[in-house]
């Protein structure tokens, strides 16, 4: 699924990264706990989160993730958007809550290609190594 498709499904605003909307992503993760995200190392592309601080972007960078969706209508402060922009991370922002955001993307097929261990909703692959 292209990031542009994620944005469309979630009625999301693109805060930065318009030039990367054609990038393909194959799975997603929804969590407010960054340590849980860090425990879930797969070839994920998108993080959905209600957490809003600069560590969200650093977590994405550590994990080679390309896109963050800030949920529940929270608008990220300019500093976070700029830090994301400097590091090539796409920032989306949606009014939808976590459950519905994840549900819509899953129903649209995101993450289903990799049936099996990893889910979409903040699960982490405990036996990944």
Partner 1 sequence: MSEALHYHFDVDGASFANAGKASVETKKLLRQLGVPPEIIRRISVAMYEGEINMVIHAHGGDADVYITPETILITLKDVGPGIRNVEEAMKEGFSTAPENIRALGFGAGMGLPNMKRYSDDMHIDTRVGVGTTIELWYHLT
Going through 1-129 in order, the beta strands assigned E by DSSP cover 13-16, 28-30, 46-49, 67-70, 90-93
* Residue of 25, 34, 92, 105 that binds partner 1 (CB under 8 A): 34
90-93/13-16 β-pairing: antiparallel
Of 62 and 75, the one with the shorter C-beta distance to partner 1 is: 62
Contact 23, 2 (CB under 8 A): yes
* Residue of 8, 11, 18, 58 that binds partner 1 (CB under 8 A): 58
Q: Nearest approach, Cβ of 115 to partner 1 (angstroms)?
A: 23
* DSSP-assigned states of every residue in 32-46: S-HHHHHH--SS--E
Size of the site for partner 1 (CB under 8 A): 23
Binding interface with partner 1 (CB under 8 A): 32-36, 38-39, 41, 49, 51, 53-56, 58-59, 61-64, 126, 128-129
């Amino acid at each position: 699924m292209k990031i542009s498709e994620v944005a469309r499904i979630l009625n999301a605003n693109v805060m930065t990264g318009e030039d990367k909307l054609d990038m393909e992503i194959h799975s997603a993760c929804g969590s407010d706990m960054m340590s849980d995200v860090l425990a879930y190392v797969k070839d994920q592309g998108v993080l959905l989160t209600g957490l809003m601080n600069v560590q969200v972007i650093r977590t994405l960078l550590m994990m080679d993730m390309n896109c963050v969706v800030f949920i529940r209508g929270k608008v990220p402060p300019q500093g976070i958007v700029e830090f994301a922009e400097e590091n090539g991370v796409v920032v989306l922002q949606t009014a939808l809550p976590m459950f519905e955001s994840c549900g819509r993307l899953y129903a649209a097929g995101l993450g289903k290609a990799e049936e099996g261990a990893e889910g979409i909703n903040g699960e982490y692959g405990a036996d990944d190594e």
